[in-house]
Amino acid sequence: MPSAAEQSEQSKRQRLLYQRLALETAQSALSLQSEELNSQCASWTSDISRLRNEVEKLREQKDRATRLRNDAETQLGVLSKVLQGVLDELEVLDKGGLPMKNFPPDILRMIFLEAAAGDSRFRWVAMGVCRDWRSIAQLTPSLWSRLQIKFAHHNNAMLKVAREALSFGGQYPLQLHLLFCLPPVPPRRSRDASPRRNPPRGWSDIESSDHDSDRDSDIEDWDEDGWRHVAGRAVDNWNRTPNYEFAWDYVDMIAPHLPRCKSLFWQVSAISGDWWTWEACWIARRLDTIVLEHLKTMRIDLLSITLRTGGHHEQAVHKLCRAAPNLTRLSMRNVPWNRLSTTTLHSLDLTDCKARLEDLLASLDEQNDLRILKLYCTQTSVSLPPGSVITDERWQSEPSRAPRIVKLPALTYLFYQSDRVFEEESETLLSRLSCPRLQRAIIKGDVWGQTLSDMVTFLLRSPLLEELGLTLMSSDLLRPVFQSLPSVREFVGMDSRTLGWGSIPGYQEFFSAALVPGALPSLQWLSLLDFCPLDMLIPWINDRNASGIGTPLKYFSTFPEHLYNDSPHSPDDGVSWREQLQELSVEVKPVGWIDDVYWPYGKKDWA
């Protein structure tokens, strides 16, 4: 047995051992806490550094904002003083205390621009008032940004006027209208003078011209009697020999200004078809060394006449198309189609143009941004002319290979009017196009039997089509067309008589075809643009609503004078038909689409 002293010593040793273990445990815990504190201190140090950097950035931003605010306040103060000065001047002008000749130059410049927008002759009026007005007009390039030059007056005075107008424009973007026409005919002595006074010299050859206007420019106000003599072929002792010297002078004057054109209208007068236009020939030659990089809009109108000019206009137009890489809008009439250098077209209008189908499709295939396409009786040919070959392998057709489909991914509007020549071809443009985003289409023609399958295929490739205008045909042909239009909400029916091509079954065929299952299931708005039998329209709406083949009709449009009722006991007076439609919850709306449906001539020209 251990003694009491040994037991006490052993107990003491165990207690000290326990204390040692406790101290070691506490030391380990303290070490861990110390490491955590060190880690937190390092993190806090990093956060403090980051916050300091952010504070510094915020201070810099504050300083920058303060400087910008101070600069803005300074500029605002300057502008306020300028505005106050203008207001003071206007107040003086209001009170009549300042004569017009003492108007500030900026005010006069605004007056000139506003007046010239309505009548371009005001530019020359301002030039002749006084020295100050002439100086202001000369130093306002935008005042001379819209010019029309007629290749008619071959004399030094007109040449000087044209040269001055072009020089005043400087490098300002130019909207240029080139009109190729005959020289004016002197008034006949036996004819009474026109009561209208001719404008002063210099106003006629250079004047403002709206490039999108459909106004006939063949007969102008500047020599009305003379033009009437030409139109009536009552011309005595009139020298029609071209002046080659002045033609060259005009071209030499115009050519340096072509690169700054943003809009160009090239027009041949209707009564100058047999005139030898050397200007067109020499402009074509100058275009070999000119790039029209700023040209965005171009309109070419060679009319529907045979030009005996050695093909000068066609050559010039071809070179214009090749020299304009950034065109966004192109409109051509009676022009042979050629490949374009631009791939940025947004709008393309072709009227009475001649083109081979593959060439036209090859050009369309390059226009990924094309949104509007209008083709009016454009004569196309599938076969190649004798001796010609296709150089682009993509468009070489093989008997064993299906024709290539051209996709126009951005096209939203299509106007397509075919002619008899086109209908006789083995394939049509519609059969080769795919327009997945097409929203509005107008398709006109008088013979649809040969192209019905192409039309149906084209419509099925347009799943987003909502608005459709179509020349009506027999019900047997209309049924498959209507059944391929699941998304069309607005339909415009046009009887073929509006084209003046004879009698083809009209609206009775439409009413018959539009009641078959699956025909126009989403139709909400119906427009009929020719004579519509009222005693067929009302029953058709009732039958459509009762059968449930589609959504109920909400809107109807037509010309009131085109409604008629075959019933002798209930003559329509122009009011009762509206009441009958209102009872069917159909709202009558004004006829739209007139400009689109009757493009490019307008409704009055179809009368």
pLDDT at 520 over 50: yes
Instruction: Tell me: pLDDT of 454 over 60.
Output: yes
Q: Is the peptide bond before 505 cis (omega within 30 degrees of 0)?
A: no
Residue 238 is encoded by which pair of tokens? Answer: 């009139």
Per-residue pLDDT, 180: 80
Task: Supply φ then ψ for residue 434, to 5 degrees.
Answer: -135, 120
Alpha-helical (H) ranges within 223-324 are 224-231, 244-254, 278-286, 312-323
Q: What is the reported pLDDT for 349?
A: 92
Q: Is the pLDDT of residue 363 over 80?
A: yes
Q: Quick one: pLDDT at residue 464? A: 93
Read off the pLDDT of residues 193-230 as tens digits, 9 standing for 90 and up: 444 444 333 333 334 344 344 434 333 333 333 333 33
> Of 505 and 158, which is predicted with more confidence?
158
Query: Which structure tokens are listed for 245?
Result: 């010297």
pLDDT at 431: 85
**Could you report the per-residue pLDDT of 411-447, keeping only the tens digit for each?**
999 999 876 444 445 467 888 899 999 999 998 876 6
Residues facing residue 468 across a β-bridge: 441, 491
- In angstroms, the Cα distances linking 531 to 79, 193, 474, 526, 565 are 63, 46, 16, 14, 10
| Averaged pLDDT for residues 307-331 | 83
Checking if the pLDDT of 409 tops 80, the result is yes
Contact 565, 536 (CB under 8 A): no
- Say yes or no to pLDDT of 286 above 60: yes
Question: At 312, is the pLDDT very low, low, confident or very high (cuts 50, 70, 90)?
Answer: confident
| Closest C-alpha among 480, 485, 576, 476 to residue 526 | 485
Closest-CA residue to 586 (of 545, 546, 547):
545
Instruction: Please give the Cα distance from 153 to 227 (Å, whole number).
Output: 13
Q: Between 51 and 390, whose confidence is greater?
A: 51
Report whether pLDDT(467) > 90.
yes
| pLDDT of 99 over the 50 cut | yes
Task: Confirm whether pTM is higher than 0.75.
Answer: no
Percent residues over pLDDT 70 in the chain: 72
At 220-275, the pLDDT tens digits run 333 333 333 333 344 444 455 556 777 788 888 888 889 999 999 988 876 554 45
Please tell me the total number of residues recorded for the chain in this structure.
607
Taken in order 47, 48, 54, 57, the sign of the CA dihedral is: negative
Q: Locate tokens 């019905």: which residue?
A: 452
- What is the DSSP track for 459-476? HHT-TT--EEEEE---HH
Nearest to 548 by CA among 585, 513, 510, 517: 517
What pLDDT score does 560 carry? 65
pLDDT computed for residue 570 by the predictor:
43
Q: What b/e string do you get for 359-383 counting C-beta neighbours within 10 Å, with b at 16 or more?
A: bbbbbbbebeebbbbbbbbbbbeee
Q: Distance from CA of residue 583 to its chain's centroid?
A: 41
Q: Are 472 and 501 in contact (CB under 8 A)?
A: no
pLDDT value of position 488: 93
125 or 298: whose pLDDT is higher? 298
pLDDT band at 380, cuts 50/70/90? low
Pick the residue with more confidence: 501 or 91? 91
Query: Strand 347-351 to strand 297-301: parallel, antiparallel, or no bridges (unpaired)?
Result: unpaired
pLDDT, residue 504, reads 41
Q: With bands split at pLDDT 50, 70 and 90, how would you rate the model's confidence at 544?
A: confident
Two tokens at 407? 């996709």
Hey, what are 305's tokens?
């006449």
| H/E stretch holding 45 | helix 4-94
Which one-letter amino acid corresponds to residue 452? L
Strand blocks (E) in 11-121? none
Which residue shows structure tokens 């001047």? 89
Look at residue 11 in the predicted model and tell me its pLDDT.
85
Residue 392 has pLDDT above 60, yes or no: no
Mean pLDDT of the chain: 75
Please state, in angstroms and rounded to a whole number, the distance separating the CA atoms of residues 512 and 540.
9
Residue 371 has pLDDT above 90, yes or no: yes
* DSSP conformation class of 401: S
Angle at CA of residue 351, ends 345 and 353, nearest 5°: 90
Return the percentage of the chain with pLDDT > 90, whole number.
Answer: 15
How many whole angstroms separate alpha carbon 470 and alpha carbon 597?
Answer: 9
Q: What sign does the CA torsion over 89, 94, 98, 104 have?
A: positive
